[in-house]
Amino acid sequence: MKVAVVGATGLVGSQMIKVLEERNFPVTEFIPVASAKSVGKELAFKGKNYKIVSMDDAIAMKPEVAIFSAGGSTSTEYAPKFAAAGITVIDNSSAWRMDPTKVLCVPEINAHELNETTKIIANPNCSTIQMVVALADLHKKYKIKRIVVSTYQSVTGTGVKAVTQMMNERKGIEGEMAYAHRIDLNVLPHIDVFTENGYTKEEMKMVKETVKIFGDENVKVTATAVRIPVIGGHSESVNVEFENEYDLNEAIEILKKTKGVIVKNDNSKFDYPMPKDAHNRDEVFVGRIRRDETQPKTLNLWVVADNLRKGAATNAVQIAEYLVEKGILKEGVLA
């Protein structure tokens, strides 16, 4: 089928192309879409070069699906235009995530909410995705009451400019700054803009998106989002309080059987998840699994995933795969 990648030249867009190739998604025609300055240039997909086209040209080419990673303002303007042409949009920005008429989808958890009428599908925030994948089956078993999460997020979450800043600092080169402060050999307790309640938008995304994905208003979340000088993936310290008592060994077994999760939890071998292990992987890694001894029914976890893969590109492609599997997306048919 015809597949468009909107924002194809960006960090996430390039990962989307890579994931589509690796997972052998059924692409008969690849349509790379980017800003005006990139139109006419070429991008490779499965050994063949394709010319980058504009938004309007992409709509005219009528792909069955368009995977967006071009920022919120672009998605707000163009996703409805693609949808109006019958094209299914899977959007990686924050533009549609909290829209009550849109599905905020992590396929392992709530793909069943998608159907033939779903034309704009929201991809959650990278930090939210890895946390809810790790916790979903535990929530089914023990019912989550409250989550306290601190994130340790890769500079790749900001984009090429941030990676360049860190590498420049590492080499002692002055250059353009993506952050308000130095990032190399430093930690910034600040991701996205601050809101009136003192939290950042990134932190509030985790709060609101978790509730929406689980479909449970009773789940309380408080978050602190931190940027660290790392490439490879995001890490999270997660403290989760359940409504019901749990058995630690049973909880570990549940995690081992959770779709999309790999448990690395052998302290005797210093075997725990790290960003370098998650890099270029699609799984969510969980370790340091232990009881919180300060209060009942509470568990500590360490959760790591590649933010450009499962946190963005892979999750989007998995949504498209589900739509194909269920016959919602069909080659040559605009629903």
Q: For residue 202, which of 128, 134, 145 has the smallest C-alpha distance? A: 128
- Would you say the C-alpha torsion 291, 213, 314, 25 has a positive or negative sign? positive
Q: How far is 94 from 76, CA to CA, in rounded Å?
A: 10
Mean pLDDT, residues 228-238 taken together: 97
User: How does DSSP assign 287-335, residue by residue?
Assistant: EEEEE-TTSTTEEEEEEEE-TTIIIIIHHHHHHHHHHHHTTSSBTTB--
Please report the domains of the chain, with CATH numbers, ordered by start residue.
2-124+312-325 (3.40.50.720), 127-307 (3.30.360.10)
Give the active site residues: 126, 234
Instruction: Look at residue 328 and tell me whether its pLDDT is greater than 80.
Output: yes
pLDDT in tens, 1-51: 999 999 999 999 999 999 999 999 999 999 999 999 999 999 999 999 999
- Give the model confidence (pLDDT) of 88-138 as tens digits: 999 999 999 999 999 999 999 999 999 999 999 999 999 999 999 999 999
Name the pairing type of β-strands 2-6 and 65-68.
Answer: parallel
Per-residue model confidence as pLDDT tens digits over 276-291: 999 999 999 999 999 9
Cut 0.75: pTM above it: yes
Counting residues of the chain whose pLDDT is more than 90, the rounded percentage is: 96
246-253 long-range contacts, Cβ below 8 Å, gap at least 24?
246/138, 246/141, 246/142, 246/297, 246/299, 248/289, 248/290, 248/291, 248/299, 250/141, 251/138, 251/141, 251/142, 251/289, 251/299, 252/289
